[in-house]
């Protein structure tokens, strides 16, 4: 068995990360064709999808051929498929489970917007792929074998839960698997006791800890010695004002991450201005194909392109996603990054079902969040968009609830309200109706913060 020192040399894998693009594309196509044949032969679900599309795996000879296929799976299709597999096969992994059930050695889940779990299955080989990709990302962030890492994502079944702890152990780091479920008081005390070099959590939790650390520990988060923060699970670590707030408070480097299954992994770099997340898993997935959110027609993958992201695995055994969209809106960057690292980058702009349109203007909740953050410290950064009816079209005005910092009084709060409204008009081209609420009014969470408050039956 390879030692930790020997394995650490593999976390940066130049044979893939520095491979000339033309050569890498040839490898990807070869892997793609094997993956499609495997899925077609192992799953009646995928055979039906190909037949409905009037296609066969042997027709797919290039990545462009893949992009001409329709979307095969959405979150709704996934949930329906796992309900069917539970009824008919006795497991919740969907009718597109391609590996024998006895080969599924690990599971994870996400709750999704409906609150119903969406299950993910891993074979032993899938776990190995996932470990490698998490290790690539953590290595990029500066985490090394022997480092203590505080794990504060949700541990309970989540993709960023046990799989992350497992990957950290595999690469020789020392995870403290506290998990967000333990609560902020226990988490902060564990940080004081174990002195981790790195913290893993959602950006909203990193912000919340800034508020509660003085109350729990009697010190600021910047006194805890954390050097690296890796965030995932929601927009935030890629928003300039949120980044500035977290990095300044902790005195740490902040990294934005995305991935965790199906050969997908992305992480931001150390460039002074956020450049999106570098794609680290091109040898294991096609993770940033784009389609028009309305027509579902393919959008060329070129610098600055924006669209609904569709993923396809290249080397996955359990439930290989083929033309799968979870409804995220990505922007893709193909021009060289100022940091000097090669390869494409992606930026998550929001979700298709969270996009709002006000008098023809597209508004992403994350952009509103970033604008409100820019008024700190007079605001806490907490805000909610209030919807009285389903989107995406919103009858003006767009309604907001914004927290103001304790200590501000009547005229100061009113002036802040006017300034935020004017900034939204100039920067986002919408005039909101704002309700200012005292610090502590809006609920905090260790998981994903919902930026939209829906006041209608769903």
Residue 391: what pLDDT?
A: 79
In this predicted structure, the answer to whether residue 429 has a pLDDT above a threshold of 70 is: yes
Up-side HSE of residue 456: CA atoms within 13 Å toward CB? 8
In this prediction, residue 2 carries a pLDDT of 43
* Res. 77: pLDDT tops 70: yes
Longest pairwise C-alpha distance within the chain: 69
pLDDT at 336 over 70: yes
For the chain, give the mean pLDDT. 92
Instruction: Write out the H or E segment, with its range, that includes residue 212.
Output: helix 203-217
pLDDT for 81: 97
Minimum mean pLDDT range among 183-197, 234-248, 265-279: 234-248
Stronger pLDDT, 319 or 369, i.e. the higher one: 319
Query: What is the C-alpha separation between 174 and 190, in angstroms, rounded?
Result: 14
Residue 5's pLDDT is what? 42
C-alpha 165/C-alpha 173 separation (Å) is 9
Q: Is the pLDDT of residue 132 over 50?
A: yes
pTM of the predicted structure, to 2 decimals: 0.86
Select from 385, 84, 134 the least CA-distant residue to 284.
134
**Tokens 């796992």 identify what position?**
82
Structure tokens at 241: 């004002």
Mean pLDDT for 304-316 is 96
Tens digit of each residue's pLDDT (9 = 90 or more) over 179-211: 999 999 999 999 999 999 999 999 999 999 999
Q: What domains appear along the chain, each with residue ranges and CATH number?
A: 1-351 (3.40.50.12780), 356-454 (3.30.300.30)
Per DSSP, the residues of 28-83 read: HHHHHHHHHHHHHHH-HHHHHHHHHTT--GGG--SHHHHHTSPP-B-HHHHHHHHH
Backbone angles phi, psi at 279, to 5 degrees: -85, 120
Instruction: Examine the pLDDT at 139 and tell me if it is beyond 80.
Output: yes
Q: What dihedral do alpha carbons 299, 302, 304, 308 form, nearest 10°?
A: 30
């Amino acid at each position: 068995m390879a030692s930790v020192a020997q394995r650490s040399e593999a976390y940066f894998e130049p044979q893939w990360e520095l491979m000339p693009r033309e050569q890498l594309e040839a490898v990807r196509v070869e892997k793609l064709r094997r993956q499609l044949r495997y899925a077609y032969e192992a799953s009646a679900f995928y055979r039906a999808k190909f037949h409905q599309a009037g296609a066969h795996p042997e027709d797919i000879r290039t990545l462009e051929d893949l992009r001409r296929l329709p979307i095969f799976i959405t979150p709704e299709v996934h949930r329906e498929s796992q309900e069917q597999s539970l009824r008919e096969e006795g497991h919740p992994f969907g009718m597109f489970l391609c590996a024998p059930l006895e080969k599924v050695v690990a599971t994870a889940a996400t709750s999704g917007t409906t609150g119903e779990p969406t299950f993910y299955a891993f074979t032993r080989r899938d776990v190995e792929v996932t470990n490698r990709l998490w290790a690539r990302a953590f290595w990029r962030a500066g985490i090394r074998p022997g480092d203590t890492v505080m794990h504060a994502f949700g541990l309970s079944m989540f993709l960023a839960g046990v799989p992350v702890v497992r990957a950290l152990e595999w690469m020789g780091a020392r995870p403290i698997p506290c998990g967000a479920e333990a609560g902020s008081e226990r988490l902060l005390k564990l940080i004081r006791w174990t002195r981790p070099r790195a913290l893993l959590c959602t950006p909203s939790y990193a912000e919340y800890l800034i508020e509660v650390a003085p109350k729990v520990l009697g010190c600021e988060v910047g006194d805890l010695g954390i050097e690296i923060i890796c965030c995932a699970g929601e927009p935030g670590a890629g928003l300039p004002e949120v980044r500035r707030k977290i990095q300044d408070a902790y005195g740490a480097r902040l990294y934005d991450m995305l991935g965790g299954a199906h050969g997908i992994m992305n992480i931001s770099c150390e460039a002074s201005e956020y450049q999106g997340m570098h794609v680290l898993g091109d040898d294991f997935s096609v993770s940033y194909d784009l389609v028009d959110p309305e027509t579902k027609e393919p959008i060329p993958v070129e610098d600055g392109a924006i669209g609904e992201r569709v993923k396809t695995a290249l080397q996955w055994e359990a439930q290989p996603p083929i033309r799968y969209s979870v409804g995220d809106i990505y922007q893709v960057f193909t021009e060289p990054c100022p940091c000097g690292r090669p390869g494409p980058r992606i930026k998550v702009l929001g979700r298709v079902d969270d996009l709002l349109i006000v008098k023809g203007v597209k508004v992403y909740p994350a952009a509103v969040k970033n604008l409100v953050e820019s008024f700190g410290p007079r605001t806490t950064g907490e805000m909610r968009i209030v919807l009285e009816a389903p989107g995406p079209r919103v009858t003006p005005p767009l309604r907001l609830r914004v927290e103001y910092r304790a200590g501000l009084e009547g005229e100061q709060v009113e002036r802040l309200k006017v300034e935020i409204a004017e900034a939204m008009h100039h920067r986002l081209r919408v005039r909101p109706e704002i309700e200012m609420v005292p610090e502590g009014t809006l609920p905090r969470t260790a998981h994903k913060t919902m930026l939209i408050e829906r006041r209608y039956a769903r």
